[in-house]
């Protein structure tokens, strides 16, 4: 059997990778340990949130599946940060874990060129530094031109509860015991990471009556640019809030030595932004309470996810801890919290295309690259699928820049700075976040999706129409003026009278005036859809700040445009500090811009390198 | 980058010995070519050798040569230092020979720049070292040493920490909007905190202006009609000071007649009298020369003659100096008073004669008063000593002004936070720090969030 591309792992990265590869016409095989776990959400039941929600929009703009699949599968949807500026708004959905997985599996099954197979992969077939296929646990070899590893937390996974360590993936699934050792033998650096998940509580055992309720928004929205909302506002399911209290903290402090982490049973490094409740209580000992969220996992079963309560305490202590919480005094724990340790590669050994530097035609995406989160995984999976396909077509890889997409920030951070804790996307990681908004993901990326071939003509045409409308409306606002004679009408906009002629465009810049208000008050018979109005309004109202970001981004572009040859001999450049030289040799930055972002590299190193590259080019 | 550079490392004219420093891969080879004594290519590192600098068998100077091989040198390159004994002329000749044999004349601060580029010292240290080398007076040395110990770094770090606390709080509000227990930064907070940061930055700029006076000295122009006593005043000022640094004609664009130190602060005295008198031209030229000298002066000493009535020319000069810090010096107060200034309503008038010191002392006190010598002397001078640093601080202040406009327009906090970050980053460049990781560390150290 010969495939173009084999994707190992059926999580969020694997689904996007195999869909992109097969949609681009490549014969693709998705290998998973258990078909039942395809598109599984072993942790929280939500998709999106600040920065992450924008990742999902970007995936959709490029032609990935996560946005549409979430729109088909959620039980609550919220726009976050609506009281802040447009740059930080983001959608978050409470996804139904059962329908999400089912819908994704259906999509995969329907997909042409894509086959799914159950097997545990043990090793890669590699010859002359080039991958030629995979070997499964039962000795079967399957050949392919490209292999994409999206193994999630399954590499040599150990589940930890208290002092108990069990070799297992999430839900008691079989881990891939040998693959990471074999990758190490092939020359890859392997690191050990850790993450954790909180207990699941039976819904009917919780007393919600005294808990704070959190409902979904009363405005219909979608992640995807291409579909209409599929849910009803009143059918959304609420979440609830509760808090830890001094009694909870007392229980935790008394039992600290029994926790896997504090008992010294864990070697992997956990993420800072996913602290266990033990961590929170110890590090923030003066805080009297910590906020917890009760999130329904699915309409099909009774589990409530207790967000904020990750722990690796033994089961009996978990019982006591949970019962100390308001509303959960009689709660029944359906699944105990656990920590999980797993192997990951060093992302510094990866090119920005997500291809491995040591083994050609091997791509990796998701938690194996040291990231955390469904959205981060899906984004990489999509890019790995796209770039594997482009490689087969002998085309240049698609590498998104930091000023183009959160996906660009994510991958650039990974391949430039590496990570030694599971990497989560945060808005603060994006220096050009005003350019990387929820609302303009399509304007930033749809063209790429179309060029690559994941956006069909119909979707592309809709996008072109939107661009056309935006331009038309913007021009209209620029070219039409109000004069002092119109001050009567202007009064109705609750703004001070004008002293001279003013264009609609400039009037819109005044605080408190929205485009919708302007159009209705002035009785302008212009009918554009909401997304067009939103786009025009944001780009006018924030014009000054956007321009500033663009200037900064252009400065970056200059550094990005100076390429460093892949085989560049750093020993030729004297006067570079030793630390910088070592980093350059390991990371082999592609551009001066990337080089400047490596930690431990000083501006002087970049200055020296830049001068040398200029001379090098001339010679 | 790695060519061999040379320059005179000591101040010309001061002390009996001048040192020429040579650094780079060819340093030993080049010096060896013009050195008569041991073969420097064969001597051990960090040794000193007696010999002569020769040019075609002609002895230029008797010297001691220190040979220091990389990496344990100031620049981390091969360094040779030549101690010359023969005064300015022969030292210049030795330097010229080095240049003829393949050295390049080092630009100011280039040795320190190499030390920095080769990773021996950090940026602030580099700047402080170069200031230390260039400093001529005790006060300057005080500033330079404070820079070395990182006082400026500490100040900038404090301001940055202040900013970082606000920034990371806003970031947490953005990334974790669902946490109700976390303090939500408001516009009011910014309205309170931003002005404090502004005051600190503005104080740095002000202190810079003062330290600049320390470095460059105060340019003092003595102007006045011919024969009013400019030369006498100059001579009196110079005579009073034994700490005179010789005047090297043509070393500055101004006509520096002499430099004196007043309480450790340098005064560059620019006199226009000498020129006019040697040229023996009509009196009007004296006025125009004086006006020219006005331009570059920080302080004007306008001389009037007590023994003569005020002339239109005097009045003209008085009005021309309106916008400058000026002291009206009335000379010849030992003679009959014919001058009447009552109608002119002048400030800062000092009356002197060139016979006793009483008037000169009150003139000096006046200068000290006008330039806040007390404050300068009592400052702790943790401050900015170079242009790169001050440019960055002014840049940060500019962004801060934009931020204030945004605050007044009640912009969204996440938008305003971009300016805060920009200021934080710009200040980071001063101390060579700007890591995003720093922000994330702070964020997760101070806020308890996450599932």
Cβ partners under 8 Å of residue B325, min gap 6:
B298, B299, B300, B370, B371
Q: Is the pLDDT of residue A3 over 70?
A: yes
Give chain A positions within 8 Å (CB) of B173.
84
Average pLDDT of chain A? 92
pLDDT in tens, A594-604: 888 887 777 66
pLDDT in tens, B90-128: 777 888 889 888 888 777 667 776 776 666 655 555 555
Position A266 scores a pLDDT of 67
Could you tell me if A412 and A433 lie in one domain?
A: yes
Could you tell me if A374 and A469 lie in one domain?
A: no
Give strand ranges (E) for B241-348. 256-262, 265-271, 299-305, 326-331
Expressed as residue numbers, the domain containing A568 is 562-618
Chain B residue closest to A281 (CA)?
B448
Going by the DSSP 8-state scheme, the letter that residue B252 receives in this structure is S
C-alpha B390/C-alpha A101 separation (Å) is 58
Position B203 scores a pLDDT of 83
Residue A321 lies in a domain: yes
Could you tell me if A480 and A586 lie in one domain?
A: no
- Residue A182: pLDDT band (50, 70, 90) is very high
Question: Residue A576 corresponds to which tokens in the numbers above?
Answer: 């570079």
B87: closest CA among B202, B10, B200, B139? B10
C-alpha A339/C-alpha A162 separation (Å) is 9
Chain A within 8 Å of B418 (Cβ-Cβ)?
yes
Position A415 scores a pLDDT of 95
Could you tell me if A403 and A537 lie in one domain?
A: no
**Residues of A (328-367) whose Cβ lies below 8 Å from B:** none
Query: Which of the residue ranges A44-48, A138-142, B211-215, B297-301 would you say has the lowest mean pLDDT?
Result: B211-215
Position B269 scores a pLDDT of 81
Q: Is the pLDDT of residue A212 over 60?
A: yes
More confident residue, B10 or A387: A387
Residue in B116, B181, B413 closest to A604 by CB: B116
C-alpha A16/C-alpha A384 separation (Å) is 9
- Residue B11: pLDDT band (50, 70, 90) is low
Residue A551 lies in a domain: no
Highest mean pLDDT pick, A327-336, B240-249, B392-401, B407-416: A327-336
Enter the CATH code of domain B151-210+384-446: 1.20.120.430
Residue in A50, A273, A549 closest to B177 by CB: A50
Residue range(s) of every CATH 3.40.50.300 domain in chain B: 218-297+299-370
Could you tell me if A317 and A186 lie in one domain?
A: yes
Query: Which of the residue ranges A290-294, A388-392, A536-540, B264-268 would you say has the lowest mean pLDDT?
Result: B264-268
Could you tell me if A75 and A211 lie in one domain?
A: yes
A159: closest CA among A341, A415, A349? A341
Residue in A283, A427, A599 closest to B437 by CB: A599
Q: What b-and-e string marks burial along B340-369, b requiring 16 or more CB atoms within 10 Å of the CB?
A: eeeeeeeeeebbbbbeeeebbeebbebbbe
Position A9 scores a pLDDT of 97
CATH number of the domain enclosing A509:
1.10.10.1800
pLDDT in tens, A399-416: 999 999 999 999 999 999
pLDDT in tens, B48-72: 999 999 988 888 888 999 999 988 8
Question: Cβ of B410 and A604 within 8 Å?
Answer: no
Give chain A positions within 8 Å (CB) of B432.
602-603
Rounded to an integer, the average pLDDT of A519-539 is 90
C-alpha B320/C-alpha B310 separation (Å) is 15
C-alpha A388/C-alpha A393 separation (Å) is 9
**CA B291 from centroid of its chain's CA atoms:** 26
Position A390 scores a pLDDT of 98
* Cα Rg of chain A (Å, integer): 26
Last residue of a domain, one of A499, A517, A546: A546
Sign of the dihedral through C-alpha A319, A321, A323, A327: negative
**Residues of B (178-207) whose Cβ lies below 8 Å from A:** 178-181
Q: Is the pLDDT of residue B398 over 90?
A: yes
pLDDT in tens, A351-371: 999 999 999 999 999 999 999
- Residue B359: pLDDT band (50, 70, 90) is confident
CATH number of the domain enclosing A53:
3.50.50.60
Going by the DSSP 8-state scheme, the letter that residue B355 receives in this structure is S
Cβ partners under 8 Å of residue A567, min gap 6:
none
* pTM (two decimals): 0.75
Position B2 scores a pLDDT of 66
Q: Which of A43, A195, A271, A273 is the best mutation test for B, with the most CBs of B within 10 A?
A: A273
Chain B residue closest to A84 (CA)?
B412
- Residue B288: pLDDT band (50, 70, 90) is low
Chain A within 8 Å of B176 (Cβ-Cβ)?
yes
Architecture of domain B5-121 in this structure: 2-Layer Sandwich (3.30)
Q: Is the pLDDT of residue A30 over 90?
A: yes
Position B111 scores a pLDDT of 78
Q: Which of A43, A545, A553 is the best mutation test for B, with the most CBs of B within 10 A?
A: A545
Query: Which of the residue ranges A27-31, A189-193, A301-305, B117-121 would you say has the lowest mean pLDDT?
Result: B117-121
Question: Cβ of A50 and B414 within 8 Å?
Answer: no
Query: What proportion of chain A, given as a percentage, has pLDDT over 90?
Result: 70
Could you give the number of structural domains in chain A? 3
Tokens 């549409």: give the residue.
A68
Rounded to an integer, the average pLDDT of A145-162 is 94
Query: 3-class SS at B320?
Result: helix
Position B432 scores a pLDDT of 61
Rounded to an integer, the average pLDDT of A57-62 is 98
ipTM: 0.84
Could you tell me if A399 and A471 lie in one domain?
A: no
Could you tell me if A353 and A492 lie in one domain?
A: no
Position A327 scores a pLDDT of 96
Question: Residue B222 corresponds to which tokens in the numbers above?
Answer: 């003595």
Position B248 scores a pLDDT of 37
pLDDT in tens, B163-197: 989 998 898 899 888 888 888 999 999 999 999 99
Cβ partners under 8 Å of residue A271, min gap 6:
A195, A372, A421, A422, A423, A424, B450
Last residue of a domain, one of A392, A427, A454: A454
Query: 3-class SS at A300?
Result: coil
Position A153 scores a pLDDT of 93
Give chain A positions within 8 Å (CB) of B114.
575
* DSSP secondary structure, B375-401, as one string: HHHHS------SHHHHHHHHHHHHHHH
Residue A554 lies in a domain: no
Chain B within 8 Å of A287 (Cβ-Cβ)?
yes
C-alpha A100/C-alpha A45 separation (Å) is 10
Could you tell me if A465 and A589 lie in one domain?
A: no
pLDDT in tens, A460-498: 999 999 999 999 999 999 999 988 888 888 888 888 888
| A561 prior amide bond cis, ω within 30 | no
Q: Which CATH superfamily is domain B218-297+299-370 in?
A: P-loop containing nucleotide triphosphate hydrolases (3.40.50.300)
- Residue B275: pLDDT band (50, 70, 90) is very low
Could you tell me if A315 and A217 lie in one domain?
A: yes
Residue range(s) of every CATH 1.20.120.430 domain in chain B: 151-210+384-446
Q: Is the pLDDT of residue A288 over 60?
A: yes
Q: Is the pLDDT of residue A279 over 90?
A: no
Residue A320 burial class via C-beta count within 10 angstroms: exposed 0-12, middle 13-18, buried 19 and up: middle
Position A318 scores a pLDDT of 95
Residue A555 lies in a domain: no
Position B252 scores a pLDDT of 31
Query: Which of the residue ranges A291-295, B34-38, B406-410, B435-439 would you say has the lowest mean pLDDT?
Result: B435-439
pLDDT in tens, B69-83: 988 888 889 999 999
Position B48 scores a pLDDT of 93
- Residue B250: pLDDT band (50, 70, 90) is very low
Question: Cβ of B180 and A241 within 8 Å?
Answer: yes
Average pLDDT of chain B? 76
Sheet of strand A239-243, all strands in order from the earlier edge strand to the far edge: A212-214, A239-243, A291-296, A303-307, A200-202, A333-335
- Residue B342: pLDDT band (50, 70, 90) is confident
Chain B within 8 Å of A614 (Cβ-Cβ)?
no
């Amino acid at each position: 059997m010969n495939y173009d591309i084999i994707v190992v792992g059926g999580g969020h990265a694997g689904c996007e990778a195999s869909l992109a590869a097969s949609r681009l016409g490549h014969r693709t095989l998705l290998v998973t340990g258990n078909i039942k776990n395809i598109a599984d959400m072993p942790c929280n039941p939500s998709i999106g949130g600040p920065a992450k929600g924008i990742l999902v929009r970007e995936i959709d703009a490029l032609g990935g599946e996560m946005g549409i699949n979430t729109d088909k599968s959620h039980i609550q949807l919220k726009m976050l940060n609506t009281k802040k500026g447009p740059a930080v708004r983001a959608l978050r959905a409470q996804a139904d874990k059962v329908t999400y997985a089912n819908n994704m599996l259906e999509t995969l099954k329907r997909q042409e060129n894509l086959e799914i197979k159950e097997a545990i992969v043990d090793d890669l077939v590699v010859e002359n530094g080039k991958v030629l296929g995979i070997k499964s646990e039962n000795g079967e070899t399957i050949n392919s031109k490209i292999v994409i590893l999206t193994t999630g937390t399954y590499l040599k996974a150990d589940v930890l509860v208290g002092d108990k360590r069990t070799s297992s993936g999430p839900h008691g699934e079989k881990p891939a015991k040998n693959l990471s050792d074999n990758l190490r033998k092939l020359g890859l650096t392997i690191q050990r990471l850790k993450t954790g998940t909180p207990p699941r509580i039976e819904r009917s055992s919780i007393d919600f009556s005294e808990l704070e309720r959190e409902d979904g928004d009363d405005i219909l929205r979608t992640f995807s640019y291409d579909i209409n909302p599929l849910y009803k506002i009143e059918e959304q399911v609420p979440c609830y809030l509760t808090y830890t209290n001094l009694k909870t903290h007392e229980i935790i402090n008394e039992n600290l030595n029994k926790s896997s982490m504090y008992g010294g049973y864990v070697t992997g490094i956990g993420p800072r932004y996913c602290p266990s409740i033990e961590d929170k209580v110890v590090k923030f000992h003066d805080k009297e309470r910590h906020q917890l969220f009760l999130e329904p996992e699915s309409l099909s079963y009774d589990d409530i996810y207790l967000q904020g309560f990750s722990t690796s305490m033994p089961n009996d202590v978990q019982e006591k801890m949970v019962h100390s919480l308001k509303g959960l005094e009689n709660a029944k724990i359906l699944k105990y919290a656990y920590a999980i340790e797993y192997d990951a590669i060093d992302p510094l050994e990866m090119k920005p295309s997500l291809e491995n530097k040591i083994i050609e035609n091997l791509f990796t995406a998701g938690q194996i690259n040291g990231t955390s989160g469904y959205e981060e995984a899906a984004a990489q999976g999509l890019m790995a699928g796209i770039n594997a396909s482009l490689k087969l077509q002998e085309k240049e890889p698609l590498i998104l820049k930091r000023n183009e997409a959160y996906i660009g920030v994510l991958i650039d951070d990974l391949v430039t700075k590496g990570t030694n804790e599971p990497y989560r996307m945060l808005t603060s990681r994006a220096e050009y976040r005003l350019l990387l908004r929820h609302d303009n993901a399509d304007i930033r990326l749809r063209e790429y999706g179309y060029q690559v071939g994941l956006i069909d003509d119909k979707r592309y045409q809709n996008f072109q129409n939107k661009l056309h409308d935006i331009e038309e409306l913007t021009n209209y606002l620029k070219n039409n003026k109000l004069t002092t004679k119109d001050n009567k009408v202007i009064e109705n906009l609750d703004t001070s009278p004008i002293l001279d002629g003013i264009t609609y465009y400039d009037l819109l810049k005044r605080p408190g005036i929205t485009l919708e208000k302007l159009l209705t008050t002035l009785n302008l018979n212009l009918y554009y859809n909401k997304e067009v109005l939103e786009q025009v309004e944001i780009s006018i109202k924030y014009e000054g700040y956007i321009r500033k970001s663009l200037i900064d981004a252009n400065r970056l572009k200059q550094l990005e445009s100076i390429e460093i040859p892949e085989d560049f001999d750093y020993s030729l450049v004297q006067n570079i500090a030793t630390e910088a030289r070592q980093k350059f040799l390991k990371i082999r930055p592609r551009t001066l811009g990337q080089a400047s972002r490596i930690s431990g590299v000083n501006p002087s190193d970049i200055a020296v390198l830049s001068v040398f590259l200029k001379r090098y080019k001339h010679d | 980058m790695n060519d061999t550079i040379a320059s005179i490392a000591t101040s010309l004219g001061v002390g009996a010995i001048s040192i020429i420093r040579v650094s780079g891969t060819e340093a030993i080879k080049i010096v060896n070519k013009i050195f008569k004594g041991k073969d420097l290519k064969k001597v051990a590192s960090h040794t000193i050798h007696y010999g002569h600098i020769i040019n075609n068998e002609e002895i230029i100077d008797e010297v001691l040569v220190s040979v220091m091989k990389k990496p344990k040198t100031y620049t981390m390159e091969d360094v040779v230092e030549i101690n010359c004994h023969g005064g300015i002329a022969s030292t210049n000749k030795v330097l010229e020979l080095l240049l003829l044999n393949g050295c390049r004349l080092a630009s100011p601060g280039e040795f320190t720049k190499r030390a920095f580029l080769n990773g021996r010292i950090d940026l602030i240290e580099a700047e402080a070292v170069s200031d230390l080398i260039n400093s001529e007076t005790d006060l300057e040395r005080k500033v330079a040493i404070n820079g070395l110990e990182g006082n400026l770094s500490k100040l900038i770090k404090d301001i940055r920490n202040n900013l970082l606390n606000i920034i990371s709080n806003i970031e947490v509000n953005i990334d974790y909007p669902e946490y109700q227990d976390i303090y939500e930064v408001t516009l009011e907070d910014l309205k309170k905190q931003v002005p404090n940061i502004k005051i600190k930055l503005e104080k740095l700029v002000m202190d810079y202006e003062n330290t600049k006076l320390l470095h460059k000295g105060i340019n003092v122009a003595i102007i006045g009609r011919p024969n009013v006593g400019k030369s006498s005043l100059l001579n009196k000022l110079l005579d009073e000071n034994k700490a005179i640094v010789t005047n090297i004609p043509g070393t500055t664009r101004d006509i520096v007649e002499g430099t004196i130190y007043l309480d450790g602060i340098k005064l560059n005295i620019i006199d226009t009298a000498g020129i006019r008198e040697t040229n023996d031209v009509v009196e009007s030229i004296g006025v125009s020369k004086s006006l020219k000298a006005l331009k570059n002066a920080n302080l004007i000493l306008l001389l009037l003659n007590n023994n003569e009535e005020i002339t239109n020319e005097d009045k003209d000069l008085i009005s021309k100096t309106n916008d400058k810090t000026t002291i009206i010096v009335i000379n010849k107060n030992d003679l009959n008073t014919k001058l009447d200034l009552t109608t002119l309503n002048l400030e800062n008038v000092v009356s002197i004669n060139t016979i006793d010191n009483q008037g000169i002392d009150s003139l000096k006190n006046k200068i000290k008063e006008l330039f806040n010598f007390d404050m300068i002397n009592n400052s702790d001078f943790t401050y900015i000593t170079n242009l790169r640093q001050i440019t960055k601080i002014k840049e940060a202040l500019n962004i801060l002004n934009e931020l204030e406009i945004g605050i007044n327009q009640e912009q969204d906090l996440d938008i305003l936070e971009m300016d805060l970050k920009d200021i934080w980053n710009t200040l980071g460049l001063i101390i060579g720090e700007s890591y995003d990781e720093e922000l994330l560390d702070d964020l997760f150290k101070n806020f308890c969030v996450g599932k």
